[in-house]
DNA sequence: CTCAGATGTTGTCACTGTCAACATCAGTGT
DNA sequence: ACACTGATGTTGACAGTGACAACATCTGAG
C-alpha cells in the first residue's frame, strides 16, 4: 500500500484507542470521552472500538488497568531510591502524588469512573498489585521498628488514604499549589508528619 | 384542584429536581444522572429543568453547593462535642469521613463532577466555608500548643487531604470495611496517628 | 491454498442535552 | 376588580451518542 491509502485493518487499534481516549479525557474530563470521537481520532468507523472493548466501561477499565500497572511500577522505582524503610515509604508516597499530578486523566478513571471494579478482574488485579507495593513497604517499616501500634496492613491503608487525598485534591485544584514542586514538597512534609505519628 | 389533577405549576420543582438527581446518582453513579429522567421523576416535561438550571452542570453545581453547606454544618456540629483542640479536630475529621460514607452521591458530585468550580461561585463559596471550619480548628490547635512545625493552614490542608482520601477510598470500596463503624474506628485511629505527628 | 475467525464498516434505533416557540399561571400596580 | 408581565411549564425539533445487527475484508493456521 502507498502512504495515502488506508489499509483495511488498522494494525494497532486497541492501543490507538486508549491513547486517543486519554487525550480526550485530558482535554474535556471524563465527560468529554466519546466512543465515536475516539474512533474518529483513530481514523476508524464509529463501531470499530467494539471489536476491542465490550462497551465504553470496558475501555475505561482497560485505561484503569494500564494506569495501575504504571503506578505500581512508579512506586517501586521511586521507593528503591530510599536508604531506610521510612524514607522508602515516603518516596513511595511522594511518587503516588506525583503520578496523580502527572497523569490526572488516568487517575480520574482509575478511581472514579469505573463503576464496579469486580466486573473487571484485570483492573482489579492491577490495583491490588499497586497496593501490595505499598504494603511491602509498611511491612518492612514494621520490621525496622518504625511502626508501633498499627499492623502493617492498617498502616498501609492509612498511608494510602493520606497520599490519595493529597493527589485527588491537587488534581481538582483544591489546594492552590503554584506548581508541581510545591505540591511534592507539601507531600514530603505531610508524609513526614504521618510517619512520625505512626512511629508513635 | 383535586388530588388526581396536576396543577400547571409544580410548586417546588427546584428542590424536587435535586432530590430526584440524588436518587439517580445513588442508584447508577454520576453517569446514571439524566436530565430527562430527573424531569420524569418530578412528573414534569423534559425541558422544565431548564427553568431552574442553566444546564446539567448547573444542576450538579447546585447539588455540590448544598452538599458543602451540609458538610460544613456537620463538621461544626461534631467538633463542638470535643473537649480539647486535638479532640475537636479529630471529631471533625471523623465527621468528614462519615459524611462521605453517608452521602456518597453528593460527595462524588462535590469533588469530581463539577468541571470548573470557578464558574459556580455559590458552590465555591460553600466549599470555602467548609474548609474554613477545618482551618478554625487547626488555628485553635496551634494556640493550644498541639501543633509545632507547621502553619495552621498547612496543617488544615494536610488534615483535609488525609480524611478526604479516607472518604474517597471508602466510598469506592477500596478499603474493604465491613460497615460504617469499622470505617469510623479506622478514621479515629488514623487521625490520632496524624495528630501525634503534627504535634511533633 | 482455503476458509474460519478476527477485524472493520454501514445502517439503524432509542435516548440524551439543548434550543426555539408557545401555553399557563400568579401576583403586583392601579 | 382586573389587566398584564414575568415566572414557570410544554411541545417539537435537532444533532450527537452508545449499542446492536448484518455485512465486508483480511489474515494466518492447517
Which structural domains are found in chain A, ordered by start? Answer: 6-52 (1.10.10.60), 56-199 (1.10.357.10)
- In Å, how far are A35, A39, A103, B109 from A24, measured between CA atoms? 10, 11, 13, 21
Strand D and A12 CB separated by under 7 Å: no
B163 touches chain A (CB under 8 A): yes
Going by pLDDT thresholds of 50, 70 and 90, the confidence category of residue A4 is very low
Strand D and B13 CB separated by under 7 Å: yes
Per-residue pLDDT, A102: 97
Distance in Å, alpha carbon of B198 to nearest chain A alpha carbon: 6
Per-residue pLDDT, B61: 94
- Mean pLDDT, range A8-33, rounded to an integer: 89
- Mean pLDDT, range B26-38, rounded to an integer: 93
Which of B35, B89, B154, B165 best probes binding to A when mutated, by most A CB atoms within 10 angstroms?
A: B165
B138 touches chain A (CB under 8 A): no
**Residue B150 per-residue DSSP state:** S
Going by pLDDT thresholds of 50, 70 and 90, the confidence category of residue A112 is confident
- Mean pLDDT, range A96-111, rounded to an integer: 95
Strand D and A35 CB separated by under 7 Å: yes
What cell does A142 get?
A: 514494621
Per-residue pLDDT, B137: 97
- Mean pLDDT, range B176-194, rounded to an integer: 95
Q: Is the model's pLDDT at A183 over the cut of 80?
A: yes
A160 touches chain B (CB under 8 A): yes
Q: Is the model's pLDDT at A3 over the cut of 50?
A: no
- Mean pLDDT, range A97-109, rounded to an integer: 95
Going by pLDDT thresholds of 50, 70 and 90, the confidence category of residue A17 is very high
Chain A residue with minimal CA distance to B195?
A197
Strand D and A14 CB separated by under 7 Å: no
A194 burial (CB, 10 Å; 0-12 / 13-18 / 19+) is buried
- Mean pLDDT, range B18-46, rounded to an integer: 95
Instruction: Calculate what percentage of chain B has a pLDDT beyond 90.
Output: 82
- Mean pLDDT, range B131-150, rounded to an integer: 95
Cα separation, B162 vs B117, in Å, equals 22
Amino acid at each position: 500500500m502507498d502512504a495515502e491509502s488506508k489499509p483495511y485493518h488498522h494494525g494497532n487499534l486497541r492501543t490507538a484507542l486508549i491513547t486517543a481516549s486519554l487525550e480526550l479525557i485530558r482535554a474535556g474530563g471524563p465527560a468529554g470521552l466519546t466512543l465515536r470521537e475516539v474512533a474518529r481520532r483513530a481514523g476508524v468507523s464509529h463501531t470499530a472500538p467494539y471489536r476491542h472493548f465490550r462497551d465504553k466501561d470496558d475501555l475505561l477499565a482497560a485505561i484503569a488497568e494500564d494506569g495501575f500497572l504504571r503506578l505500581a511500577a512508579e512506586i517501586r522505582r521511586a521507593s528503591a531510591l530510599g536508604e531506610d524503610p521510612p524514607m522508602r515509604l515516603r518516596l513511595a508516597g511522594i511518587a503516588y502524588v506525583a503520578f496523580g499530578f502527572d497523569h490526572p486523566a488516568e487517575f480520574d478513571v482509575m478511581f472514579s469512573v469505573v463503576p464496579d471494579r469486580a466486573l473487571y478482574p484485570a483492573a482489579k488485579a492491577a490495583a491490588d498489585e499497586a497496593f501490595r507495593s505499598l504494603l511491602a513497604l509498611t511491612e518492612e517499616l514494621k520490621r525496622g521498628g518504625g511502626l508501633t501500634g498499627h499492623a502493617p496492613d492498617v498502616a498501609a491503608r492509612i498511608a494510602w488514604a493520606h497520599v490519595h487525598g493529597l493527589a485527588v485534591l491537587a488534581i481538582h485544584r483544591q489546594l492552590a499549589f503554584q506548581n508541581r514542586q510545591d505540591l511534592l514538597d507539601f507531600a514530603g512534609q505531610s508524609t513526614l508528619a504521618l510517619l512520625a505519628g505512626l512511629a508513635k
